[in-house]
Structure 1
Amino acid sequence: MQSELAIPSGVTTSIYSPLNRAADEIRLLTLGPCRPGHRLECTLEKASLQDFRSDYTAFILSNGLSSQTRRQAKEIWAAPTPASDSGPRSDSPPAEDPFLGSVPEPDLYRFNWGDFASLSYVWGDESLREDIILNGGIVSITVNLANALRTFTADEVFTGRYKLWVDAICINQVDDGERSHQVQKMREIYGGAWAVISWIGRSHLGASIHLAFPFLRTLASLEGDKRDLRGLQEPLKDTYLYALNKLMKQRYWFRLWIIQELVMGAPSTVIRFGDEIIDWNTFWRGISVLYHGSNWLFKDEALKRAYTTRGIREQATWQTYSIHLVHSDLRQLTRSEAEGNRQLGFRRLLDVANSTECRDVRDKVFALVGMMDSAIAADIMKAYELEPPRLFAAVSRAFIAYTNGLDPLRQGNPWGGVGTPSWAADWTWNGRIRYSRPEFNGLAPHLDVSEPEPDPALTYCAHGHTTPSYSFLDDWRLLQCEGFVFDGVVGLGAPEAGFFDWDEERVVQCPSWKSSYGSQESTGEALWKTLLLSVIAKGERAVQRHAALLRLPKSFWMALPQFEEKGWDWMAAQAGYYFKWENWHEANDHLMLGDRPLGSFFNNFISDDVDEVTYAEVFSACQRAVQQRRFMLTKGGYFGWGPDNAYSEDPSMELRVGDKIAIIFGCSTPLVIRPKGDKFEVVGEAYVQEFMDGEALSLLESGACEAQIFTFC
């Protein structure tokens, strides 16, 4: 949670008298006059979230809404219907509502004291500050927040009984107990507000961001084939796309807390940039058009043209992180929230937390507690005061205990920077790549990445549905569980060196390796399945037509003429994305698979009897597989993938020859583990071709392997 308020000594006591938790009190802000050249005057007062109007309570009871969330109940209360005896209801709303429903009419206030909205914003540059008057005292806030408050005051919003909740002002930031309690109430505050106002910022001279808003409204209105951006009869398309990219580059989208805030607010969230306002549903519908057909590639071309027109010399790069965040995460999560569902799995939470900013690394966890099962969230909040390594261990422990499964071990490794046990995911580790997940839907032209991803625990079943056996020891660093070692690492492909390259000098050959898959043809089949993780998209397994991967040209210059000859527009437009496939081959083709180099299994000429969709599927799937993974050969004559640590420059912090491969009962994939004295470290999850669906259990049954207790540290 951000903490930007600067309060002179002596003022704190008068502003922040204790909240009455029994009455469910929060503090709310009322905005006073905003005269030019004068400080903004505000009032902070306490209000009870239990102090409902009698007619609102009667409406809830008479319509059977007691079991609904506060957000669901509010949406039904706010729906325009004729007046009835169950409570004051407004007639149809005005034809033009400049605030898009984010400001209620007074007869729709739910509380005896009025109603409130919650503000979602980013603190901005803390060196740029402005003084305001709060309850008669002078306090300092960042300019970004001051800009928002001044804009609302000019709109004559939040000046009376409709009030505003702003975390940095409404919470006593120097009271750790209150901060902890309010973090636990974030779901209630954002989910119970009349609206959530997503304040992106305010325009500066020369900015064109405001153009993104009418453009998004236009995109959201399109249907079917009309969503093709190339067909828009608009000479300023490049300008509008440039403005949209500028909007998605704003720092707001990189603040982790906004995810919970937006999700809790939907569908009552409005996105605001200065005087421009757009409702959440229109916003994400507009963004989703970028994913239609070939629009994803067209937007790249349009941005390059816009940069050239403006004489901008830097590389024209789209801010895809925030676009994916809206389309693939927030869109789904807000839908689920509106339906009363709010649970996110462990892996998904880590993905959402990745690549976002928090002042306190512990907020990687606490900013997402509202997205967790309530029982897990309550357990995790008990660890609010713990230091990061103990907190991260407590989070993994909570998910293990409440799911009675050991899949959280898949996210462990010994490479975190804060001393987290290897079996517990370190939420600060920067090596996670969201789009490397086998359950990720990819970006092939016929796929909609906004569709819910399958449960990662159901993609594979290496444990063969065995019952987990585990115990948490008195030492919080240790976890005991049962399983067995079935193989080990004897050869390695090139490790990643950042996002774009691999270090071919660090390939580790194994001259004695001999394929256990059988013939050269069978080994080749195992190879293409491995490079696809045996999964195409939506959790669907690869089938024989996907052997076309072995005839996917290794470089784009060899591929392009063939794509063009076949009229494959989507594949022909992959020049900016082909580098993963090219660079991985360049670094790994000389790895020997027995008496043949890996590269010799591939042919650079596309199969005549395979369509573009199949090649798009294998291209997208292999792009996913080569990220965050290192190709490995096993002692038993198999191959697969082990964990990689792409952003580390320390060669000791990587997968090693000699590491063991184990099945842990209750964990859906194999794990690479490493002896450490009389204990073991979790190095990370593994993929071993032919051992992802319980096959290793036959080794246990035959006596070739023996079950044992592992103590992970």
Structure 2
Amino acid sequence: MSACPSPQETIQVGALALRTEADMVVEQGEEAAQALISQGYVYSELLFSSIRLLRLKPGSSPSKFQCELQAFSIDQAPKYHTLSYCWGAPTRENPLLCSGEIIMITTTLKEALARLITHNRGDVEWIWIDQICVDQENVREKETQVNMMKDIYHKSEGTIVWLGPDIIGIESTERLLDDMWHLHTEDQSPIDGSRRRGIYTRAEFEATNLPPAWHPSWKVLAELLSRPWFVRTWVIQEAVLSRAHPQMLCGSYKLDWEKLLASSSWMVSLSYNTTPLSQDTKAWPAVFSLDLFHNLRILGLRWDMATLLSSAIRFKASDPRDKVYSLVSLSGETTDSSNIPTALQANYDKSYIEVFRDVTRYIIESSKSLRILTLIRYVPKSKKLPSWSVDFTQDVCWERMSYLVWDRHESGRPVSIEKPNKASANLPAEVQSSSSEDVLTLGGLLIDIVGAPCETMLKSDLDSFGSRVLFAWKSAYEYTRDRHQDLPRAFMVTLVANWNLTETERMEHQPLCNFWAYLWRVYEELLNVSENRRAVEEIFHPILEPQNPDNPGDPDLYRLHLNGAYHRRMFFTKHKCYLGLGPCTMQENDILCVLFGGSTPLILRPEGDYFRFVGECYVYDLMNGEAVTDWKAGNYVAQYFHLI
């Protein structure tokens, strides 16, 4: 690290004033003002391991205040805060006058600076703000500063979050968050942090002391969580690396960071489908974001890159490459800014396609695991990216197959691992070198060819007892009943990908009566809307097991756990009659395979001598290493699959 710059090397901006164009016109004349704006601010070159800091001088007011900008070695910098905010509209149309020079800033930052003047920051005078302290037009400087983000945020006194202007009635959220925080505490084991109970049913949720869904506090909280800050990818490190709890400012109101995180964790874990916020498409993503912040804080740093990318897939970035670069400072792949793997180093000369491809390959090769491929849970928009390369800009459209639990990497860092599925018997991925960077060659086993899959299971159909499950059951009964001695249980488990219901209980442990109750309810709904009831009765009644009058089951207890089926298709293989649940994009004549390093079987699509990656799947009888056992017994021949 270099020493602190000398006074001659220091960027001394002197007195700055944030002024409106009207102020400038009055004092200097319109021509002078426009000349200053067009000239712009000229940044001096930063020395190695240095940062710029902004100081808001005493005596400033929200409408006009004094500032100075100065460079320091990061190891000898004075006390400073970091500001986390959204740029908002990218147009930088607000002039910050700087000793005869102008720095243009966005309207959102102008509002944030005005609020900082009235915010009590103790004896901390300096603040780091990316838009001002980094020369955004200098690509090399930007790359260097991005690689230093961990140090910049971790060495600050803490992060100040600016969420935007006031929200009317925001005070009403204090009681709501306090109540959810108490429920979070009561439902969590003090020993290991695990949940003491399963997901709340709607009746159980309504029996809590939380306000009813119509209460205005839910609406206000939803409006708050709809602010864009919560889903911007850069804010993850900005919040998590803060040495103290971030100070969250919404207008003149200050929120309780700890209670907001705990409430979100409780909603995600235990009231996924019952909280009023789960129906709000703008607010609910923020709940997931805050749950991630909660996990990062509880588990500590550093996470492996695959875990970070998987957890942050829902976040947004103006520059797609920042979906990766914004997380590097939190990863365990590097110990400091001078020790970052090439694939993860900020390089804005590379296209986002190259960045995503190289990062996906790096993670597979370094981890010897295919877990990163489980993020391909979307319908690809184009073929610009290789099918095996994760498009980190895509929104995941359906849930993952495996249940993620927290463990420790051999290095000691937190890592999420897939359980309990182990289709490849925990064998490491076999990656063979390829002639092209766009080809990924993996070793594994070809299991069978996919027959015509059933219709895609839609959330609206499953939640309203629509008929698609019944037609899928009919197909399973016709094609696979000779393979499965207990076909109803196989189907019940497969349709929900054998999801965990609690920390220790899975769908396979549930009684069949709830599944049959669900199918009978679907059958009755179909009868009610059918114009030919007799035909429906003749087709479906013989394949439904009579309900036990003493224990008829509860259809809602099965419906509550159908998340894994959303946007997936039941399918059967042509030769071995395997029963499975696969991605909505799968087609007849795709292949079912088990690739080494994968927790679940995978669907690939042949294309000449190559294959396209389609997605993960759940296959009854293949989730516990059965294919690997058969391979070792000589029933399969291992081969390499060239993915494009």
TM-score tier after normalising by the smaller chain length: 0.7 to 0.9
Alignment of 1:379 with 2:356, yes or no, is no
Alignment of 1:397 with 2:361, yes or no, is yes
Question: Residue 582 of structure 2 corresponds to which residue in structure 1?
Answer: 642
Q: Is the 8 A contact 2:580 2:618 kept in 1?
A: yes
Q: Is the 8 A contact 1:26 1:170 kept in 2?
A: yes
Alignment of 1:31 with 2:56, yes or no, is yes
Question: Residue 395 of structure 2 corresponds to which residue in structure 1?
Answer: 430
Alignment of 1:331-410 (within 5 A): 331-337=294-300, 341-344=301-304, 346=306, 349-354=309-314, 356-375=315-334, 378-382=341-345, 384=347, 385-410=349-374
SS at match of 1:169: helix
SS at match of 1:147: helix
Q: Is the 8 A contact 1:213 1:277 kept in 2?
A: no
Identity fraction in percent = 22
Alignment of 1:387-536 (within 5 A): 387-412=351-376, 415-417=380-382, 419-433=384-398, 435-439=399-403, 455-495=416-456, 515=479, 518=482, 522-536=486-500
Measure the CA separation in 2 of the matches of 1:254 and 1:472: 37
Shift of 1:224: 4.6
Measure the CA separation in 2 of the matches of 1:608 and 1:220: 40
* Consecutive unaligned residues in structure 1, runs of 5 or more: 1-5, 52-110, 304-314, 442-452, 560-581, 588-595, 645-653
Q: Is the 8 A contact 2:402 2:419 kept in 1?
A: no
Shift of 1:168: 1.2
1:480–1:177 CA distance, 2 compared to 1 (3 A): same
Question: Residue 241 of structure 2 corresponds to which residue in structure 1?
Answer: 264
Q: Is the 8 A contact 2:231 2:289 kept in 1?
A: no
Question: Residue 209 of structure 1 corresponds to which residue in structure 2?
Answer: 170
Alignment of 1:186-225 (within 5 A): 186-203=149-166, 207-213=168-174, 215-217=176-178, 220=181, 224=186
Question: Residue 224 of structure 2 corresponds to which residue in structure 1?
Answer: 247
Shift of 1:398: 1.4
Alignment of 1:18 with 2:45, yes or no, is yes
Question: Residue 47 of structure 1 corresponds to which residue in structure 2?
Answer: 72
Measure the CA separation in 2 of the matches of 1:517 and 1:700: 25
Measure the CA separation in 2 of the matches of 1:147 and 1:500: 46
Shift of 1:197: 0.9
Alignment of 1:289-300 (within 5 A): 297=274, 299=276
Q: Is the 8 A contact 1:655 1:683 kept in 2?
A: yes
Any idea what the Cα deviations from partners look like across 1:265-295, whole Å, max 9, x if unmatched?
Answer: 2643121112212342233235556579879
SS at match of 1:656: coil
Any idea what the Cα deviations from partners look like across 1:69-113, whole Å, max 9, x if unmatched?
Answer: xxxxxxxxxxxxxxxxxxxxxxxxxxxxxxxxxxxxxxxxxx5xx
Residue from 600, 623, 644 that aligns with 1:669: 600
Alignment of 1:547-696 (within 5 A): 547-554=512-519, 608-609=550-551, 616=557, 618-621=558-561, 623-635=562-574, 636-644=576-584, 654-696=585-627
Measure the CA separation in 1 of the matches of 2:481 and 2:522: 33
Measure the CA separation in 2 of the matches of 1:604 and 1:119: 63
Deviates more, 1:662-671 or 1:417-426: 417-426
Shift of 1:239: 2.9
* Consecutive unaligned residues in structure 2, runs of 5 or more: 1-33, 188-203, 406-413, 531-537
SS at match of 2:105: strand
Deviates more, 1:656-665 or 1:472-481: 472-481
1:144–1:235 CA distance, 2 compared to 1 (3 A): same
Measure the CA separation in 2 of the matches of 1:235 and 1:383: 47
Shift of 1:214: 6.0
Measure the CA separation in 2 of the matches of 1:388 and 1:334: 29
TM-score normalized by structure 2?
0.76
Deviates more, 1:403-412 or 1:115-124: 403-412
Measure the CA separation in 2 of the matches of 1:148 and 1:174: 22
1:132–1:426 CA distance, 2 compared to 1 (3 A): same
SS at match of 1:260: helix
SS at match of 1:12: coil
Shift of 1:229: 8.2
Q: Is the 8 A contact 1:553 1:604 kept in 2?
A: no
Instruction: State the one-letter code of the partner of 1:363.
Output: D
Alignment of 1:169 with 2:128, yes or no, is no
SS at match of 1:45: strand
1:290–1:545 CA distance, 2 compared to 1 (3 A): closer
Any idea what the Cα deviations from partners look like across 1:407-429, whole Å, max 9, x if unmatched?
Answer: 33444588253611112212123
1:196–1:156 CA distance, 2 compared to 1 (3 A): closer
1:383–1:631 CA distance, 2 compared to 1 (3 A): farther
Measure the CA separation in 2 of the matches of 1:494 and 1:171: 52
SS at match of 1:696: helix
Shift of 1:701: 4.0
1:237–1:192 CA distance, 2 compared to 1 (3 A): farther
Shift of 1:657: 0.3
Q: Is the 8 A contact 2:484 2:490 kept in 1?
A: no
1:374–1:12 CA distance, 2 compared to 1 (3 A): farther
Q: Is the 8 A contact 2:205 2:274 kept in 1?
A: no
1:278–1:510 CA distance, 2 compared to 1 (3 A): closer
Measure the CA separation in 1 of the matches of 2:107 and 2:326: 23
Shift of 1:543: 3.6
Any idea what the Cα deviations from partners look like across 1:516-537, whole Å, max 9, x if unmatched?
Answer: 5637752222111212312324
Count of matched residue pairs: 565
Instruction: State the one-letter code of the partner of 2:323.
Output: K
Shift of 1:346: 2.1
Measure the CA separation in 2 of the matches of 1:468 and 1:281: 40
RMSD, aligned CA: 4.3
Measure the CA separation in 1 of the matches of 2:541 and 2:92: 56
Q: Is the 8 A contact 1:416 1:428 kept in 2?
A: no
Measure the CA separation in 1 of the matches of 2:539 and 2:311: 35
1:282–1:411 CA distance, 2 compared to 1 (3 A): closer
Instruction: State the one-letter code of the partner of 1:263.
Output: V
Q: Is the 8 A contact 1:423 1:682 kept in 2?
A: yes
Shift of 1:380: 2.8
1:598–1:258 CA distance, 2 compared to 1 (3 A): farther
Q: Is the 8 A contact 2:153 2:159 kept in 1?
A: yes
Instruction: State the one-letter code of the partner of 1:154.
Output: T
